[in-house]
């Protein structure tokens, strides 16, 4: 086992004695961990015979973030000076790149080693991250195989440990700096003739010496490294490089433990869906299960604040010269501290329950249990009321009542008496809920359940929608729940969107009680009500340098909640923002600044998330036009909206059920007008006309997810009209670009719909000097992954169409 600094020569560098059979430095590298509080550190280095070659060390400076020179001195005296050839030798027969390919890469022949899974444990304290990656591999042949591990890593990485389940022997792990890593990447790409590794050009890498894998055997490899994270203001960022290729399907599990001396306000992961748990105000646990795994780098940011229960805000930006500015993301959140309840607003909750005949049996029973669960979750002193409706509307109380034992006892009896019979008078039920007298000092919420289309009273969609616009004097938030598939999904979504709320759909195999309870749990402890964002110039006056802010109406912020706003900015001067809203103590204003000088090309997820939300907003506008029954593909407004949808979809490679045809072989990508007509026809036949049933609910779920999207959707997953998940693998997103596959040729999205002749202006062949010059050029732009395809790539570069001919049939 060797530890070699990237800043010093490899040859002749002192190295540690070898480890044997899965032995590693027993917490040896504890001294690399800056959060150790012990004044006595046990430093044990064990050689292949199990002999301890170093002992105890008393050091009073262990609280510091850097190891002392004494430690390095003792470490050096226990090492054996010997030359290392890991960084310069030829590649092994099998090269395992856990972030890049499901199989070990081989020079000729078929892959012999398969990666069956990867587990990543990431411990973060302040700005120091310790990452342990366990790679599980298996030998699919009856012959012993030799392999090496190559892992792309960020700059500044120090190896802490390396172990594998294999025979004793000297195993080396070397951190190679960027320039040397670039040479290794190119050597591997050239020898294996697989351009996939080019995606990691620009990263440092860890390379191990060769180790054996027994015939038909399984092997676990464990590598631990440590590095200092980037901090910008109150935000700390972590990244683990992984391939964005849709062909990359190795299952990963991520576990992240974050500790900070300051309260942790929020944790944000734009790359993966995560489960976050605040253990206390200074400790957060984050988990990504295998089923939630997606391609692409694992990105995570956490935001700290000096005071618990305060709202912490940070900004990220991506520069785009085409906009004369770029794209930005605002992240705000508040964690849960010991006094959280004392700093949150009280709620007034009105439960509106459909008891029409179609709710008989299981549905009404679950609705009653949901109502009891919601009332139980209210704090003493919060207010509630119950409204039940079928042909007519009935109230538990003429006005909301405060929660106490007497009110709860009466409410339980009232709920248990509910029976299902009659039609669905949705209009009058909503009108009654909205006109209820408001309880002073409470945040007014409505939980509105229905399982069918309106059949009694005013049943037309425009009239019901107008209630939320014109008959909501107390600005109640209407959280709608569509139970089953026989609901007007577009209407329920509109009622929620118009009132700073969300629509939820309880599918036939789902439980009403569970779904309502989950949403209500998210409404715990309102922290900031009716937030508004003001954009100010350098003179503190309003400015127009921000446009297309999404969502345009900012939702309330609840305890342990987070707010993600996306938009475009113009110019290079700093932009000041003010986030204002109602807190328990009164109106509060939070000021923060976006500095375009800190915009980073590494934040390519920002424009993609913005575009996804914008497309959903445009689709929803067309969908809501269908409520009037006057929309058609020839309508000028619909044409304008559709044109914008096609432009954004093709540019960013973000496809929906209405534009999925763009990914099909045979679709002519040259003719923008043809693409717009096809998209308009799809929108008219589905978004406008299909408002209920499985087709209507699936669209509601798709639009709802996309309008609130915080995490990348690499595979363009959506639900079709049969509620089946659909993924598209012929459109690939790399960094800020997108590519469309046609006959094994990947076409740059900037050439799609441009009416440009796809005949190349010049041709670049794999492995030539011109090819490597192109790699260098794209690496400087952060776009080197554009060449990580097998087959041909058609790029738009400097006003020219460039055909890059890659090796076909590379390892996948």
Cα-to-chain-centroid distance, residue 586: 33
**What's the CA gap between 213 and 144, in Å, rounded?**
6
* DSSP designation for 103: B
Chain position carrying tokens 């550190």? 41
Q: Is 62 exposed, middle or buried (0-12, 13-18, 19+ CB in 10 A)?
A: buried
Chain position carrying tokens 């009500």? 529
* pLDDT at residue 9 tops 60: no
**What's the CA gap between 3 and 740, in Å, rounded?**
43
* pLDDT at residue 36 tops 60: no
Output the pLDDT for position 634: 78
Output the pLDDT for position 198: 85
Cα-Cα-Cα-Cα torsion 448, 450, 456, 462, nearest 10 degrees, comes to 60
Chain position carrying tokens 């009073």? 60
pLDDT tens digits for range 347-398: 999 999 999 999 988 899 999 999 999 999 999 999 999 999 999 999 999 9
Output the pLDDT for position 343: 66
Bridging pattern class, strands 477-483 and 503-506: parallel
* pLDDT at residue 5 tops 80: no
Long-range own/partner contacts, residues 469-476 (CB < 8 A, 24 or more apart): 469/498, 471/431, 471/434, 471/435, 472/434, 472/499, 473/434, 473/435, 474/434, 474/436, 474/438, 474/444, 475/444, 475/499, 475/500, 475/530, 476/350, 476/433, 476/434, 476/438, 476/444, 476/445, 476/446
* pLDDT at residue 166 tops 80: no
pLDDT band at 11 (very low <50, low <70, confident <90, very high): very low
Section 208-227 average pLDDT: 90
Among 49-63, 146-160, 443-457, the minimum mean pLDDT is found in 49-63
pLDDT band at 489 (very low <50, low <70, confident <90, very high): very high
**What's the CA gap between 138 and 216, in Å, rounded?**
7
**What's the CA gap between 754 and 592, in Å, rounded?**
40
**What's the CA gap between 50 and 796, in Å, rounded?**
59
Output the pLDDT for position 197: 82
Q: Is 409 left (phi over 0), alpha (psi -120 to 50) or beta?
A: alpha
The whole-model pTM stands at 0.86
pLDDT band at 654 (very low <50, low <70, confident <90, very high): very high
**Residue 32: closest CA among 12, 5, 10:** 5
Q: Following DSSP, what letter does each residue of 564-579 receive, concatenated?
A: EEEEEEESSS-EEEEE
**What's the CA gap between 319 and 82, in Å, rounded?**
47
Contact (Cβ atoms closer than 8 angstroms) between residue 795 and residue 801: yes
Section 785-799 average pLDDT: 89
The token pair at 117 is 């899974």
* pLDDT at residue 255 tops 50: yes
* pLDDT at residue 192 tops 50: yes
Section 434-454 average pLDDT: 92
Q: How far is CA 40 from CA 58, 61, 745, in A?
A: 5, 10, 61
pLDDT tens digits for range 595-639: 999 999 999 999 999 999 999 999 999 998 887 766 677 788 899
Q: Is 796 helix (H, G, I), strand (E, B) or coil?
A: strand
**What's the CA gap between 409 and 401, in Å, rounded?**
13
Output the pLDDT for position 355: 93
Output the pLDDT for position 4: 34
For helices 636-652 and 605-625, give the axis angle rounded to 10 degrees.
Answer: 160
pLDDT band at 292 (very low <50, low <70, confident <90, very high): low
pLDDT band at 195 (very low <50, low <70, confident <90, very high): confident
Bridging pattern class, strands 94-96 and 105-106: antiparallel
Among 132-136, 141-145, 384-388, the minimum mean pLDDT is found in 141-145
* pLDDT at residue 809 tops 80: no
Section 261-287 average pLDDT: 93
* pLDDT at residue 63 tops 70: no
* pLDDT at residue 52 tops 60: no
Contact (Cβ atoms closer than 8 angstroms) between residue 479 and residue 446: yes
* pLDDT at residue 575 tops 60: yes
Contact (Cβ atoms closer than 8 angstroms) between residue 307 and residue 314: no
* DSSP designation for 688: I
More confident residue, 804 or 670: 804
pLDDT tens digits for range 84-99: 455 556 777 888 889 8
**pLDDT > 70: what percent of the chain?**
84
* pLDDT at residue 33 tops 70: no
**What's the CA gap between 612 and 625, in Å, rounded?**
20
Output the pLDDT for position 6: 36
Output the pLDDT for position 744: 82
Query: From the CA atom positions of the chain, what is the Rg in Å?
Result: 29
Q: What are phi and psi of 217, to 5 degrees?
A: -95, 165
**What's the CA gap between 546 and 748, in Å, rounded?**
29
Mean pLDDT of the chain: 83
**What's the CA gap between 10 and 485, in Å, rounded?**
65
Contact (Cβ atoms closer than 8 angstroms) between residue 654 and residue 716: yes
* pLDDT at residue 342 tops 70: no
Cα-to-chain-centroid distance, residue 80: 45
Cα-to-chain-centroid distance, residue 788: 23
pLDDT tens digits for range 734-762: 999 999 998 888 999 998 866 666 789 99
Question: What letters, b where the CB count within 10 A reaches 16 and e where it falls short, cover 171-183?
Answer: bbbbbbeeebbbe
Contact (Cβ atoms closer than 8 angstroms) between residue 386 and residue 374: no
The token pair at 547 is 């446009």
Q: Following DSSP, what letter does each residue of 164-216 receive, concatenated?
A: ESS-S----EEEEPHHHHHHHHHHHHHHHT-GGGGGGTTSEEEEE--EEE-TT
* DSSP designation for 243: -
* Cβ contacts of 19 within 8 Å, gap of 6 or more: 1, 25, 46, 47, 48, 162, 163, 171
Output the pLDDT for position 726: 94
Q: What are phi and psi of 428, to 5 degrees?
A: -70, -30
Q: Is 107 exposed, middle or buried (0-12, 13-18, 19+ CB in 10 A)?
A: middle
């Amino acid at each position: 086992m060797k530890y070699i600094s990237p800043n010093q020569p490899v040859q002749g560098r002192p190295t540690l004695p070898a480890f044997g059979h899965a032995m590693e430095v027993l917490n040896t590298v504890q001294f690399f961990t800056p959060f150790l509080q012990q004044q006595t550190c046990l430093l044990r280095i064990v050689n292949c015979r199990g002999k301890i070659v170093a002992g105890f060390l008393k050091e009073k400076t262990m609280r510091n973030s850097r190891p002392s020179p004494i430690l390095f001195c003792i470490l050096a005296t226990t090492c054996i000076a010997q030359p290392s050839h890991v960084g310069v030798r030829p590649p092994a027969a099998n090269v395992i790149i856990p972030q890049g390919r499901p199989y070990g890469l081989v020079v000729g022949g078929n892959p012999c080693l398969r990666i069956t899974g990867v587990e990543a444990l990431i411990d973060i304290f302040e700005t120091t991250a310790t990452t342990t990656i366990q790679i599980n591999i298996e030998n699919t042949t009856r012959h012993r195989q030799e392999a090496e591990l190559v892992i792309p890593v960020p700059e500044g990485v120090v190896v802490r440990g390396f172990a594998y389940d294999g025979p004793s022997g000297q195993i080396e792990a070397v951190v190679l700096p960027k320039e040397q890593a670039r040479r290794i990447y190119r050597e591997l790409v050239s020898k294996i003739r697989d351009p996939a590794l080019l995606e990691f050009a620009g990263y440092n890498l860890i390379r191990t010496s060769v180790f054996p894998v027994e015939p038909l055997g399984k092997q676990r490899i464990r590598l631990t490294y440590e590095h200092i994270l980037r901090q910008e203001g109150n935000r700390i960022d972590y990244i683990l490089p992984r391939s964005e290729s849709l062909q990359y399907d190795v299952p990963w599990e991520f576990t992240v433990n974050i500790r900070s001396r300051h309260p942790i306000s929020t944790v944000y992961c734009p790359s993966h869906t995560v489960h976050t748990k605040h253990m206390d105000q200074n400790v957060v646990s984050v988990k990504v299960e295998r089923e939630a795994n997606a391609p692409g780098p694992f990105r995570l940011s956490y935001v700290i604040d000096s005071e618990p229960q305060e709202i912490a805000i940070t900004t990220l930006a991506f520069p785009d010269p085409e906009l004369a500015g770029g794209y930005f993301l605002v992240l705000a959140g508040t964690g849960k501290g010991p006094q959280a309840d004392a700093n949150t607003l009280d709620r007034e909750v009105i439960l509106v329950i459909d008891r029409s005949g179609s709710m008989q049996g299981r549905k009404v029973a679950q609705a009653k249990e949901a109502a009891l669960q919601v009332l139980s979750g209210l704090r003493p002193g919060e207010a509630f009321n119950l409204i039940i409706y079928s042909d007519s509307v009935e109230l538990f109380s003429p006005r909301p009542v405060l929660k106490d034992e007497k009110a709860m006892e009466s409410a339980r009896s009232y709920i248990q008496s509910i029976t299902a019979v009659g039609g669905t008078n949705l209009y009058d039920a909503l009108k009654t809920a909205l006109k209820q007298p408001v309880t002073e000092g409470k945040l007014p919420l409505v939980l509105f359940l229905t399982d069918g289309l309106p059949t009694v009273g005013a049943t037309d969609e425009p009239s019901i929608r107008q209630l939320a616009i014109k008959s909501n004097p107390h600005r109640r938030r209407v959280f709608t729940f569509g139970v089953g598939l026989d609901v007007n999904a577009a209407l329920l979504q509109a009622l929620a969107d118009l009132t700073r709320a969300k629509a939820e759909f309880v599918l036939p195999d789902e439980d009403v009680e569970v779904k309502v309870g989950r949403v209500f749990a998210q409404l715990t402890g309102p922290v900031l009500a009716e937030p508004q964002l003001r954009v100010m110039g350098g003179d503190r006056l309003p400015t127009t340098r921000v446009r297309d802010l999404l969502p345009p109406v900012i939702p309330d912020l609840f305890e342990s909640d987070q707010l993600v706003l996306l938009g475009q900015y113009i110019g290079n001067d700093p932009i000041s923002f003010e986030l204002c809203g109602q807190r328990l103590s009164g109106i509060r204003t939070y000021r923060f600044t976006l500095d375009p000088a800190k915009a980073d090309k590494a934040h390519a997820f920002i424009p993609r998330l913005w575009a996804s939300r914008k497309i959903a907003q445009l689709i929803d506008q067309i969908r809501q036009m269908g409520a009037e029954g006057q929309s058609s593909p020839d309508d000028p407004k619909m044409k304008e909206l559709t044109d914008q949808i096609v432009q954004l979809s093709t540019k960013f490679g973000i496809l929906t059920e209405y534009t999925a045809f763009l990914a099909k072989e045979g679709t002519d990508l040259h003719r923008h007008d043809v693409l717009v007509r096809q998209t308009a026809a799809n929108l008219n036949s589905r978004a406008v006309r299909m408002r209920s049933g499985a087709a209507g609910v699936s669209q509601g779920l798709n639009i709802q997810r996309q309008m609130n999207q915080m995490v990348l959707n690499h595979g363009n997953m959506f639900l079709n009209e049969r509620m089946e998940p659909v993924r598209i693998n012929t459109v690939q997103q790399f960094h800020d670009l997108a590519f469309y596959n046609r006959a094994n040729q990947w076409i740059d999205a900037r050439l799609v719909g441009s009416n440009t002749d796809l005949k190349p202006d010049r041709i670049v062949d794999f492995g030539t000097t011109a090819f490597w010059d192109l790699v260098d050029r794209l690496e400087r732009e952060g776009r080197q992954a554009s060449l990580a395809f097998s087959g041909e790539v058609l790029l738009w570069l400097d006003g020219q169409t460039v055909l890059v001919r890659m090796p076909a049939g590379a390892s996948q």
